[in-house]
């Protein structure tokens, strides 16, 4: 009986440790649509001006913003993030039409440049983040479509999933997306 009680207590404690949030996760938990899909990476929805101090407190060192300038009315996110001493890059992804190989390659470069630095990747809801992650997992990481889409979901992929699946199918058949937007 005592042995089984100790085993039960050990299992409860182990489960509690496994579910414990890191300090950064606790600090960033209030961001919209937040997810912690990979070491040194956070995915979220749109940032507010009040979120910048939270990012700094959580020791985020890089922000990769996939939203367009028109989505940031009344708030110069890039200037605010940079003023807080955090790196900022913007790769505007408007929607399904911008899910191109060239954009995925540019996105991969931004993530690689961020290295091990704690990095927040965001758009308005996390959906475009998840889409780009899924396409990157397939195109750069060589993952099969099913695994790539699952990875995208962990990062926030939702309504763009059909477009992602369509791209993955087309790319596996040799079709190429070409447009390359500027990165700010």
Name the residue among 164, 150, 21, 40 with its Cα closest to residue 98.
164
Residues (pLDDT < 70) of the chain are 1-21, 73, 175-184
Distance of CA 94 to the CA centre of its chain: 16
Q: What is the pLDDT, as a whole number, of residue 74?
A: 79
Class of domain 22-172: alpha beta
Give ∠ CA 11-14-17 in degrees, rounded to 5: 150
35 close to 126: Cβ distance less than 8 angstroms: yes
Q: What is the pLDDT, as a whole number, of residue 24?
A: 78
Domain boundary assignment for the chain: 22-172
Calpha distance 2→97 (Å, rounded): 63
Q: What is the pLDDT, as a whole number, of residue 69?
A: 84
Run of H or E residues at 36: strand 35-38
Return the exposure string of 141-173: e unless at least 16 CB atoms fall within 10 Å of the residue's CB, then b. eebebeebbebbbebbbeebbebbbebbeebee
Q: What is the pLDDT, as a whole number, of residue 8?
A: 44
Name the residue among 76, 84, 26 with its Cα closest to residue 52.
84
Give ∠ CA 161-122-83 in degrees, rounded to 5: 170
- Both structure tokens of 61: 């060192």
Q: What is the pLDDT, as a whole number, of residue 75?
A: 85
Calpha distance 41→120 (Å, rounded): 6
User: Strands 62-65 and 35-38, how do they pair?
Assistant: unpaired
What is the model's pTM? 0.83
Question: For 45, which DSSP code?
Answer: S
């Amino acid at each position: 009986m005592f042995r089984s009680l100790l085993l039960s207590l050990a299992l409860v404690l182990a489960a509690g440790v496994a579910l414990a949030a890191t300090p950064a996760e606790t600090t960033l938990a209030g961001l919209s649509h937040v997810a912690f899909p990979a070491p040194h990476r956070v995915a979220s929805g749109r940032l507010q001006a009040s979120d910048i101090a939270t990012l700094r407190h959580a020791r985020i060192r890089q922000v990769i913003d996939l939203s367009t300038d028109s989505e940031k009315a009344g708030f110069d996110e890039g200037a605010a993030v940079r003023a807080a001493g955090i790196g900022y890059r913007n790769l505007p992804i408007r929607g399904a039409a911008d899910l191109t190989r060239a954009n995925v390659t540019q996105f991969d470069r931004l993530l690689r440049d961020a290295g091990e630095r704690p990095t927040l990747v965001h758009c308005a809801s996390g959906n475009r983040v998840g889409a780009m992650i899924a396409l990157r997992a397939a195109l750069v990481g060589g993952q099969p479509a099913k695994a790539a889409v699952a990875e995208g979901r962990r990062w926030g992929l939702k309504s763009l999933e059909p477009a992602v699946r369509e791209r993955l199918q087309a790319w596996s058949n040799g079709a190429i997306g070409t447009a390359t937007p500027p990165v700010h």
